[in-house]
A and B are shown apart, each in its own frame.
Chain A
């Protein structure tokens, strides 16, 4: 009789919490954040428009570089120097060819040379990008990525007159 009473007291003194619903909620939250994190993978390319930081009207000591982007996606550096061919819209984004099209190695080299010349002249390099009105946004982003790789972030953006 006394032993049964003691067991009852022991059982009452060992409360248990049912964790299963909490685990359900926990797993739901976990799945939500895993999915949300994988969706939030946007990156950025930052540029500043020229003439915004310094208010002086004096011309820059170094001539700005000029990049012209045609509607086909062809890119020209300082006039007629070709730096990238027309875009191929049929390329699969998962292929190395697509990545190769995005990398504008010659343009990056030219921009790095400009950045070095600007450093030697103790000034900020400025590049003017002139895209044709119908140029796909993707091609302008390719140019911005090349500018970012060369460490140039003062960029003038313009739209070419309709041809």
Chain B
């Protein structure tokens, strides 16, 4: 009887999970810290350009993000269908105020300027150093320069002179 019980106890193997949990938490903390470096709004319809020399984005505070789109025929089929679901035809810029995403057509430069002005005022109200407020141009690699330049002109009209171009590091 006693022998049988001993056999049952021996077959009940247990694994000590505590060290694994420690390692797991350390990894989570590492990735949380890394992931919180940039929290700018990203538009999946923008294919980012590559740059050989670019630096890390340390802080997303003060960034007024403007996405710049190419013509629909320059997009691949998947991106074009996603773009069609998200925006009306003719949209060349998109912005996000945190709650919703707004698309602007090439004629709506005044609306874009007004939006950037509001964002600048919002960051200033948060007591952010004006030098830290910047326009973050997330231009598609195939977008015509005219659109990015117009967005920069709108930002300049709103009092923004610091421009940041979003890029990805070049491979190869």
What chain A residues lie within 8 Å of B150 (beta carbons)?
159
Q: Which residue of B lies closest to A89 (CB)?
A: B142
Query: Which residues 113-158 of B have a CB within 8 angstroms of A?
Result: 134, 136, 139-150, 152, 156
Given contacts A19-B17, A33-B35, A44 and B165 within 8 Å (CB-CB): yes
B149 and A159 within 8 A (CB): yes
B170 at the interface (CB under 8 A from A): yes
B99 at the interface (CB under 8 A from A): no
B25 at the interface (CB under 8 A from A): yes
Count, chain B residues at interface, CB 8 A: 54
Count, chain A residues at interface, CB 8 A: 54
B32 at the interface (CB under 8 A from A): yes
What chain A residues lie within 8 Å of B168 (beta carbons)?
41-43
Q: Which residue of B lies closest to A135 (CB)?
A: B145
B149 and A40 within 8 A (CB): no
Given contacts A42-B57, A99-B52, A26 and B164 within 8 Å (CB-CB): no
Q: How far is the CA of A80 from the CA of B17 in the complex (A)?
A: 69
Q: How far is the CA of A45 from the CA of B146 in the complex (A)?
A: 19
Given contacts A42-B38, A48-B162, A141 and B55 within 8 Å (CB-CB): no
What chain B residues lie within 8 Å of A43 (beta carbons)?
51, 54-57, 166-169
B161 at the interface (CB under 8 A from A): yes
Query: Which residues 134-163 of A have a CB within 8 angstroms of B?
Result: 134-142, 144-146, 148-149, 157-159
| For the complex of A and B, 3 pairs with smallest distance between CB atoms | A33-B31, A52-B161, A99-B172
Q: Which residues on A are within 8 Å of B, measured CB to CB? A: 19, 22-23, 26-27, 29-30, 33-34, 36-37, 40-49, 52-53, 69, 93-100, 102-103, 131-142, 144-146, 148-149, 157-159
A-B contact pairs, 23 of them (CB 8 A): A27-B24, A30-B24, A33-B28, A33-B35, A36-B31, A40-B34, A42-B40, A42-B166, A43-B168, A44-B165, A46-B163, A93-B172, A102-B170, A135-B144, A137-B144, A138-B141, A140-B145, A141-B139, A141-B165, A141-B167, A158-B149, A159-B145, A159-B146
